[in-house]
Amino acid sequence: MSALTDTDLMPFGKHKGAKMEDVPASYLLWLWNQGAISHPGVKAYIENSLSALEIECPDVIVKKRP
Mean pLDDT over residues 28-53, rounded?
A: 95
- Phi, psi torsion values for 42, nearest 5 degrees: -70, -45
What domain range is 17 assigned to? Answer: 1-66
Query: Could you give the dihedral angle defined by the CA atoms of residues 10, 26, 40 and 20, in that order, rounded to the nearest 10 degrees?
Result: 30
What pTM did the predictor assign?
A: 0.91
Residue that wins the pLDDT comparison between 60 and 64: 60
Number of domains in the chain: 1
**In the chain, which ranges are E strands?**
none
DSSP conformational letter for 1: -
Please say if the pLDDT value at position 26 is more than 70: yes
